[in-house]
Amino acid sequence: MHRFRISNPFVKTLTILLCSGFLVLAHQGDPKVRDEQPRYEGPGYQQGAFLGKNGPEFQSSGLVMHSWMTLAELGNQTRGNDCWGYTAPSGREYAIMGLRGGTAFVEITNPAQPALIEFIEGPSSSWRDVKTYSHYAYIVTEGGEGIQVVNLANVDQGEALLVNTVTTGGATATHNVAINEESGYLYRTGGSSNGLRIYDLANPAAPEYVGAWSDRYVHDAQIVTYTEGPYAGREIAFACAGFNGGSTQTGLSIVDVTDKQNIQVITHYQFSNPNYSHQGWLSEDRRYFYLNDELDESRTGSTTTTRVIDVSDLENPFEASTFTTGLRAIDHNLYTHQGMIFQANYRSGLRVFETSDPLAPTEIAYFDTYPDNNNPNFNGLWSVYPYFPSGTIIGSDLEKGLFVWRLTTNGCNLKYDQNGDCLITLTDVRLLHEAWLTYCDECTTDVDGSGRVNVRDMVMLVNNIAQ
């Protein structure tokens, strides 16, 4: 188990300005509002460059924190929410984080040295969501204003440019946004309107409103296009939905949205003991849908429980199993990638599960961003994004800001990494030098695999420093 303590081996001054702002109550009486706490005032963290002292101590296993930007460093905000990521054609990587007063764009190509490149203001709200398509980012919020369209074509030059605000499709408030990159359609969910509001991204700078499905309130959704089987060529929405703002008859709605003028419901499925169907994601083979119920922990006293719904037959889904962390924290957002589930669970932080047995995932790593306790309250980690090609993972925390991690067992370039911290630095050079001219068989210090540690290994390692 790793324990990170922020200390102060050298002097660095952070100027932190307190800011105020009004709160748009998109959901009156929402427990997120009742549980709100002041932001953490710093310092943050950069690997190898400690920024201060007396910071919190984080418990973790299998994950290395490379950096952490506080809300003060992210546009001087008072509250965080969702996050997503963008990888430029150059390979450079960017975290996108929703905040109370807008959206921050942060370069994390070197995960130990994040840099804020742009902050785009928006309506004040505790709920903001963003997704990407082509070289554009699309931002929505419960605070209204429709869809903000941000051009990222010149992001490597430090530019994230707001080029459009789309207000077609009725009410301007939106809870979440989903994009099917295979079909090129964007879906607004929730807010002050039921269902899905659908936009064609043929011209990605100017999304065109083309239709809606309004049978039920949709809190969040994943939309995919099937390429084989009985639904080959069909575009299917997996919607966490219900009536009365999603809280009545809450469950999973599976909807055929191929024809935007003739949307067809395949089935409405209600899982066991439902409280609020919040969010979920398909397994990579699309056989299972892993679903978070946001309110079962606080209402029933259960531990963090994820439903595994078999959707191999779209017309007849069923709950195949459940799994739990054994903690009391609320599960919030999860994503699947490379045989793993990455789950943001509020007060118990990031939890990573291995899915070789998809019905009984095994926890292999965690990083707890809320050290005080694992109570079922709405504080701590809101979301996670695990899709960067480098293996970098980001997480957005309500009170603490943006975290940047890598798994110690995955996402590291072990060909060069000598100490298992997922970063190539002078420490790795020193460790290789200590093994100089020794013979070894399949050891990390023998970078080129020649059986002996020599100058070729050193040159290859040095050429990959800070990757």
Please report, in angstroms and rounded to a whole number, the separation of the first and last CA atoms in the chain. Answer: 24
Q: Can you state the angle between helices 426-434 and 455-462, rounded to 10 degrees? A: 170
214 inside domain = yes
If asked whether residues 355 and 439 sit together in one domain, one would say no
Q: Say if residue 285 is in the same domain as residue 201.
A: yes
Mean pLDDT, range 277-286, rounded to an integer: 98
| 331 and 436 share one domain | no
pLDDT score, position 353: 97
Claim to verify: residue 400 and residue 448 sit in the same structural domain: no
pLDDT above 60 (res 348): yes
- The whole domain housing 431 covers 426-462
How far does Cα 360 stand from its chain's mean position? 22
Q: Which of 184, 209, 191, 214 is nearest to 199 (CA)?
A: 209
The pLDDT score that the predictor gives to residue 27 is 52
Sign of the CA dihedral running 245, 250, 256, 261: negative
Same domain, 389 and 432: no
Is the pLDDT at 341 greater than 60? The verdict is: yes
pLDDT of residue 449: 78
pLDDT of residue 23 exceeding 50, the answer is: no
Quick one: pLDDT at residue 29?
A: 57
Q: Is 86 helix (H, G, I), strand (E, B) or coil?
A: strand
Tens-digit pLDDT profile for residues 36-95: 999 999 889 987 554 444 568 899 999 989 999 999 999 999 999 999 999 999 999 999
Q: Is the pLDDT score of 180 beyond 90?
A: yes
The residue-averaged pLDDT of 217-233 equals 97
Confidence bin at 422 (pLDDT 50/70/90):
low
> Based on the domain organization, do 312 and 457 belong to the same domain?
no
250 and 353 assigned to the same domain: yes
Q: Residue 32 is part of a domain; what is its CATH number?
A: 2.130.10.10
The DSSP H or E segment spanning 177 is strand 176-180
| Number of domains present in the structure of the chain | 2
Secondary structure letter of residue 127 according to DSSP: -
Question: Is 467 inside any structural domain?
Answer: no
pLDDT tens, 127-169?
Answer: 999 999 999 999 999 999 999 999 999 999 999 999 999 999 9
What is the per-residue pLDDT for 198? 98
pLDDT band with cut points at 50, 70 and 90 for residue 396:
very high
DSSP 173: -
Res. 2 pLDDT band, cuts 50 70 90: very low
Question: Do residues 126 and 160 share a domain?
Answer: yes
Give the mean pLDDT of 9-37: 50
Contacts 24+ apart (CB under 8 A), 318-325: 318/269, 319/271, 319/272, 320/288, 320/359, 321/359, 321/360, 322/272, 323/353, 323/360, 323/361, 325/351, 325/363
Per the model's pLDDT, the better-predicted residue between 418 and 376 turns out to be 376
Structural domain contains residue 420 = no
Q: pTM for the whole thing?
A: 0.85
Q: What is the pLDDT of residues 234-259, one digit of tens each?
A: 999 999 999 999 999 999 999 999 99
Q: Are residues 445 and 346 in the same domain?
A: no
Contact 102, 122 (CB under 8 A): yes
Rounded CA separation 270/221 (Å): 16
